[in-house]
Amino acid sequence: MADLLEVKRISMLFGGLAAVNDVSFTAGKGEILGLIGPNGAGKTTVFNIVNGFYKPTKGEVLFKERRISGLKPHQVCRLGIARTFQVVKPLQRMSVFDNVLSSAFLRAKGRAEAEGIATDAIAFTGLADDRDVISKGLPLGKRKKLEISRALATQPEFLLLDESFAGLNPHELDESIEIIRNIKARGITVMIIEHHMRVVMSISDRIVVLNYGEKIAEGTPGEIAKDPLVVEAYLGEERSA
Amino acid sequence: MPFVILAILAALPLTGLSSYAMHLVILVVMWSVVGMAWNLLGGYCGQVSFGHAAYFGVGAYTAGILYTKMAISPWWGVPLSIPVVALFSFFLGYIVLRLRGPFFALATLASGEVMRVTAENLVDFTGGTLGIMIQERTWVEKTWYYYIILLVATVTFVLVKKLAESKLGYYFVAIREDQDAAESMGINTTLYKTLALCISGCLTGAAGAFYMNYMGYIDPNVVFALHDISIITIMIVMVGGVATYWGPVVGAVIMVLLAEWIRSIPGLGTAHYTFFGILLIIIIIFLPNGIVGDFPKLKRLLKLQKA
């Protein structure tokens, strides 16, 4: 598999604190890559670096063999990387449809085309019935879907999903897993941050594990589950457990 | 509906209104332009400016300086203020648009004041605190002044409406609602904020240039005024309705008439500021979306009173 995204030895220092320290990984085209780790491990920081909110203190990020670290988020998005936020950021006083329409303009030539893209995107995530609801009033599960629809409307090749499953009920969880499988089926590469082990183990092709800003493991879900370092990071050392 | 209103407005001078009444109508229309311009930046794009006097003043001085230094009709100032203010707001935007929220508001407030002090001190260029006086008024009658500002207002209204319904309008609102989300949606927030500021500034500047022609006299304390221009502009939009098409127009009617009425009460004088303050507090508490934005709520409230 050709590497779509290459993260090369990135570090991110805030003051003296290394939120991310010398982390490298790659994401191949068409795969679902999981990013897991305990709270504060630096997962969202990695997303913020890939998406352009932060410029890494050291290291670089390549997308389709082009250096993207240092670009602004809107430039990164134009190149084909979209993201969702852990703390959802709906455009509150806009309807669901208008939210998605706003991002659909990115690659549309006119309003009609943008409306087409937006309609597809909300149908894809099952929000079609809520298209005229003002997003302020949406329950969390639907807000998470709105985030995904909005990201999809920019027609990305690579999608960063930051805890799109947190706080969902079991039914919503199943729906979202289905949505992500469908995104993969569309040929979009997905990278997800997830705390829900059942979800991340079942849908990821590969998983990268962070702890205290450092990569401690990488591999298939089966390998990760048996990795002693990972078990230690999550459950503590055997003796003290 | 807009056409009916336009027709009524166009026929207004034929009804034989007194010169004073026409003066008030002209002020209302002029303030509508400034309000609509502010609304584009503050209401749609969410960048609350406390310094629109800067653009108003630069527009007014463009007209005035064309007259004093180049000896051409200050009416040229109305079209020519557009490129001048565009350049000016681009430059100013480069500085102030790096800031967000209250920091942006404070920076714009400062920019208005900086312009006022600058105009006071560039005596050779602006005439300093003596201001600029146009020796011969173009018309004694108010009718033509009225039609000119009505034309500017109509263009502004149509432009704001077209923009708000286009991709640009969606981008502006997206930036207002969440700048980080907008940026991650591929929106170049810096570019679109600058665009909003430039368009808003240019329209405000055109109104300023008209003001120079209409009043025949300007000085830095008049056109770069913090209270009388910047704050009043915000009040007009707040009272009328933020991010609505008709809000600034309704706000301009109320604010101009209210100011005239309170000023005409003996013994109150400039105490109209006090009343404006009280009005603003009432609006923020009861009608946070302004009279136009909260019209259904207003109707309900009035009905309850009757019942």
How does pLDDT run across B161-187, given as a tens digit for each residue? 999 999 999 999 999 999 999 999 999
Answer yes or no: do A116 and A133 share one domain: yes
A136 touches chain B (CB under 8 A): no
B174 touches chain A (CB under 8 A): yes
Answer yes or no: do A70 and A38 share one domain: yes
| pLDDT tops 90 at residue A238 | no
Answer yes or no: do A75 and A161 share one domain: yes
Answer yes or no: do A127 and A235 share one domain: no
Q: What residue segments make up the domains of chain B, in order of their start?
A: 2-226
Cβ separation A74–B187 shorter than 8 A: yes
Instruction: List the single residue in A93, A114, A150 with the smallest CB-CB distance to B185.
Output: A150
User: In angstroms, rounded to a whole number, what is the distance separating the alpha carbons of residues A20 and A57?
Assistant: 9
Instruction: List the single residue in A92, A98, A103 with the smallest CB-CB distance to B185.
Output: A103
A82 touches chain B (CB under 8 A): yes
Label residue B11 by pLDDT band (50, 70, 90).
confident
Joined tokens for residue B80 = 């020519």
| pLDDT tops 90 at residue B75 | yes
B211: nearest Cα among B135, B148, B128, B256: B148
Cβ separation A77–B185 shorter than 8 A: yes
Tens digits of residue pLDDT in B24-52: 999 999 999 999 999 999 999 999 999 99
Q: What pLDDT shows up at residue B274?
A: 85
- Give mean pLDDT, residues B12-30: 91
Answer yes or no: do A127 and A166 share one domain: no
Q: What is the percent of chain A with per-residue pLDDT over 70, rounded to a whole number?
A: 97
Cβ separation A53–B180 shorter than 8 A: yes
Joined tokens for residue A186 = 């569309």
Residue of B nearest to A107 (CA): B186
| pLDDT tops 80 at residue B296 | yes
Answer yes or no: do A233 and A168 share one domain: yes
Phi-psi region of A122 (alpha: psi -120 to 50; beta: other; left: phi over 0): alpha
Answer yes or no: do A161 and A57 share one domain: yes
| pLDDT tops 90 at residue A39 | no
Chosen for mutation from B167, B185, B188 (greatest number of chain A CBs closer than 10 Å) is B185
- Give mean pLDDT, residues B260-276: 81
Domain finish residue from A131, A155, A179 = A155
- Give the total number of structural domains in chain A: 2
> How high does pLDDT run on average in chain A?
91
Domain finish residue from A137, A155, A173 = A155
Q: Is B3 buried (19+), middle (13-18) or exposed (0-12) by CB count in 10 A? A: exposed
Tens digits of residue pLDDT in A69-103: 999 999 999 999 999 998 889 999 999 999 999 99
According to DSSP, the residues that pair with A20 across neighbouring strands are: A12
Label residue A2 by pLDDT band (50, 70, 90).
low
Answer yes or no: do A64 and A168 share one domain: yes
User: In angstroms, rounded to a whole number, what is the distance separating the alpha carbons of residues B296 and A5?
Assistant: 52
Q: Report chain B residues whose CB lies below 8 A from the CB of A158.
A: none
- Give mean pLDDT, residues A2-7: 88
Instruction: List the single residue in A92, A94, A154 with the smallest CB-CB distance to B186.
Output: A154
Answer yes or no: do A239 and A192 share one domain: yes
Q: What pLDDT shows up at residue A239?
A: 57
B177 touches chain A (CB under 8 A): yes
- Give mean pLDDT, residues B118-141: 89
Tens digits of residue pLDDT in B187-207: 999 999 999 999 999 999 999
Q: Report chain B residues whose CB lies below 8 A from the CB of A51.
A: 184
Label residue A196 by pLDDT band (50, 70, 90).
confident
Complex-level ipTM = 0.90
Cβ separation A93–B177 shorter than 8 A: yes
Answer yes or no: do A149 and A163 share one domain: no
Q: Is B20 buried (19+), middle (13-18) or exposed (0-12) by CB count in 10 A? A: exposed
Q: What pLDDT shows up at residue B229?
A: 93
Label residue B215 by pLDDT band (50, 70, 90).
very high
B181 touches chain A (CB under 8 A): yes
Answer yes or no: do A167 and A133 share one domain: no
- Kindly give the interhelix angle for A96-104 and A111-124, rounded to the nearest 10 degrees: 120
Cβ separation A105–B177 shorter than 8 A: no
Q: What pLDDT shows up at residue B30?
A: 97
A157 touches chain B (CB under 8 A): no
- Structural domain that includes position A95: 88-155
Å from B274 to nearest chain A CA?
32
Domain finish residue from A109, A133, A155 = A155
C-alpha R_g of chain B: 19
B8 touches chain A (CB under 8 A): no
| pLDDT tops 80 at residue A189 | yes
Tens digits of residue pLDDT in B234-266: 999 999 999 999 999 999 999 999 988 888 888
Answer yes or no: do A163 and A73 share one domain: yes
Residue of B nearest to A150 (CA): B185
Chosen for mutation from A103, A117, A149 (greatest number of chain B CBs closer than 10 Å) is A103
- Give mean pLDDT, residues B281-305: 87
Q: Render chain A in DSSP notation, one character per residue.
A: --EEEEEEEEEEEETTEEEEEEEEEEEETT-EEEEE-STTSSHHHHHHHHHTSS--SEEEEEETTEE-TTS-HHHHHHHTEEE--SS----TTSBHHHHHHHHHTTT-SSHHHHHHHHHHHHHHTT-GGGTTSBGGG--HHHHHHHHHHHHHTT--SEEEEESTTTT--HHHHHHHHHHHHHHHHTT-EEEEE---HHHHHHH-SEEEEEETTEEEEEE-HHHHHH-HHHHHHHH--TTT-
Å from B203 to nearest chain A CA?
25
For residue B151, give the 3-state DSSP assignment. Answer: helix
Cβ separation A77–B170 shorter than 8 A: no
Tens digits of residue pLDDT in A215-231: 999 999 999 988 888 88
User: In angstroms, rounded to a whole number, what is the distance separating the alpha carbons of residues B209 and B86?
Assistant: 14
| pLDDT tops 60 at residue A240 | no
Q: How far apart are the first and last CA of chain A?
A: 40
Cβ separation B167–A150 shorter than 8 A: no
